[in-house]
Amino acid sequence: MKKHKLASFSILSILVLFQVLFFTGSLNDFTDVVSLEIQKTAHVLWEKSYPRAYKDAASSIVKDPNGGYIISGFTNSSGKGNYDILILKIAANGSYLWNKTYGAEEEDIGYEIINCRLGGFALASTFTNTSVAVTNSDFLITKLSPTAHVLWNHSYSGPNQDDISSWVGDEGFSIAECSNDDLIAAGVTRGPFNDNDIWLMRLLPTGRRLWQQTYHKKDIDRCFSPHSVLQCQDGGFAVVGYTYNITDSNQVWLIKVDSNGNELWNRTFGDTIGFQRPAALVECNDGGFGILATTKSFGAGDSDIWLIRTNAFGQQLWNKTFGGPEFDGATYLQEMLDGGFAVLGSTHNFGAEQGDAWLLRIDSNGDLLWNFTFGDMFGNSGAAFIFEGDNTFTIAGSTNAEGEPFSDIWALKVRINISTITTTPSSPTETSSAFTIVFVVPFIIVMGTLRRTKLSSKKVRK
């Protein structure tokens, strides 16, 4: 387990680059110094918050094919109930366009929203069902038009909910589209012993359920976050959650199933003493998996961001933690074209005392390439991002600009600028031979000798 210390990482990165050199000629009589400096800065292209009456929070974001972005989340600003599902549309420059809320009298929470190839969006939510003898929750899936009008919505109860007196409800968190336009959805349902099991459902594009399966390992098994389920390259599915017994603590639990939901294998990660909670799952280009989690078992702090890389059979290849002595939490993960990862979370170590959104870039070995925090003095958190290319990210999250218990949905677009090199020309004497230093950085050739310089992480504020 390797704990990254941000204060020293940049120096280590430079030293690695210095090892990949090719020399020709002689080094005699060089009097000038070549200065190598790689600078990383974050430029905020736009930043907006969307105030409403009370408390709003973002869960996920997608790019709207018609332009702009759609953010899903929840609100208690609408006056309909405790919490309602919230859909917010913003323009490409972050300007507010419209919002819609859905819900009844009790608590309804919107989690993951996805684009559908057939048009519109699909949304996974947890819905409080007041139409039964005992108020309980169900998994709600809603199909929305491109303008967020409800085309259909269905609430689903798990296979062990025949006893309506059960105090354990069903909850929905994650949804993904299959290669044939079906939907795969993940949540948690009541188990046969009134405990919790991870729950998968496959649906037709009309919302009709094709099958459902539950998965049990310990006393409590839960899929608890958006971005937790996906269809794999082989046509099966993978879902990540956590599992624990009443006498111990959470372990991350990865389950691989076939196209009918039959379990093929499962793996756990972490110890049973601390606390681990997964935030996101991706399948990598080589068929392996990247798992993003928050851990209290490893690292140096109260909690840290934890990134796990596995092969196609769920066997761990490496894992790394990122954070400081205070709270750091994970929310979103994406594999990048070079096999590394972009990670989003929140930190109380490297930004404002009340917390900032934290964006990190990790290489294919789990080593930190760069990181930046974003926010103001009041506290901010990141929920998810869209990678736009050219080191540009559109981030959705929440801000506490008005102070607790108020919060607003918050979005920003940032570009990470990486400068290459600055040099002082070298002038060999008449008796010396010229030489060339060639770096593995594309298209960079530097003449002269080297001087080590330090990279540093940057804090970005309004």
For 47-57, how does the pLDDT look when each residue is reduced to its tens digit (9 = 90+)? 999 988 778 99
Pairing relationship of beta strands 304-310 and 289-295 according to DSSP bridges: antiparallel
CA distance 169 to 166: 7
Lowest mean pLDDT among 34-38, 52-56, 355-359, 396-400: 34-38
Q: Any idea what DSSP says for residue 36?
A: P
CA distance 49 to 295: 30
Which is more confident, 428 or 441? 428
Lowest mean pLDDT among 89-103, 408-422, 428-442: 428-442
CA distance 190 to 167: 9
301 — pLDDT class (breaks 50, 70, 90): low
Q: How far is CA 76 from CA 11, 94, 129, 171, 375, in A?
A: 47, 22, 18, 19, 23
Work out the angle at residue 241's Cα, subtended by the Cα atoms of residues 238 and 243, and round it to the nearest 5 degrees: 130
Average of per-residue pLDDT across 88-104: 94
Give which of 287, 290, 300 is closest to 269, Cα–Cα: 290
- Read off the tokens for 10: 């940049």
Burial class from Cβ neighbours inside 10 Å (0-12, 13-18, 19+) for residue 24 reads exposed
Give which of 62, 89, 57 is closest to 73, Cα–Cα: 57
What region does 100 belong to: left with phi over 0, alpha with psi -120 to 50, or beta? beta
Which is more confident, 30 or 228? 228
Which is more confident, 124 or 427? 124
In the sheet with 96-102, reading across from the earlier edge strand, the strands are: 56-63, 69-75, 84-90, 96-102
- Whether residue 359 contacts residue 372, with contact meaning beta carbons closer than 8 Å, is answered with yes
pLDDT for residue 31:
46
Count CA atoms closer than 13 A to 309's CA, side-chain side.
Answer: 20
Average of per-residue pLDDT across 267-294: 93
The label of the residue with tokens 């979103």 reads 332
- Read off the tokens for 402: 């008005």
Q: What are the strands, taking DSSP E only, across 130-236?
A: 136-144, 150-156, 171-177, 183-190, 196-203, 209-215, 220-222, 229-231
Torsion from C-alpha of 202, 204, 210, 214, nearest 10 degrees: 20
Average of per-residue pLDDT across 402-429: 76
pLDDT for residue 106:
77
pLDDT for residue 341:
99
Work out the angle at residue 255's Cα, subtended by the Cα atoms of residues 328 and 364, and round it to the nearest 5 degrees: 55
For 5-45, how does the pLDDT look when each residue is reduced to its tens digit (9 = 90+)? 443 333 333 333 333 444 444 444 444 555 667 889 999 99
CA distance 9 to 20: 18
R_g over Cα of the chain = 24
pLDDT for residue 445:
34
- Whether residue 17 contacts residue 399, with contact meaning beta carbons closer than 8 Å, is answered with no
Give which of 380, 393, 382, 375 is closest to 462, Cα–Cα: 375
For 162-188, how does the pLDDT look when each residue is reduced to its tens digit (9 = 90+)? 544 444 578 899 999 999 999 999 999
CA distance 101 to 185: 21
Amino acid at 114: I
Give which of 332, 372, 321, 378 is closest to 355, Cα–Cα: 378
- Read off the tokens for 302: 């109260």
Give which of 181, 184, 207 is closest to 118, Cα–Cα: 181
Report whether CATH 2.130.10.10 matches the domain 45-413: yes
Q: Model's pTM, two decimal places? A: 0.82
CA distance 229 to 255: 10
Domain ranges of the chain: 1-39+419-462, 45-413
Q: Give the helix ranges, DSSP H, for 26-134.
A: none
Residue 8, classed as helix, strand or coil, is: helix
Give which of 426, 379, 414 is closest to 27, Cα–Cα: 426
CA distance 183 to 210: 10
Whether pLDDT at 135 is above 60 = no
Give which of 212, 115, 234 is closest to 158, Cα–Cα: 212
* Cis bond upstream, residue 405 (ω within 30): yes
- Whether residue 448 contacts residue 437, with contact meaning beta carbons closer than 8 Å, is answered with yes
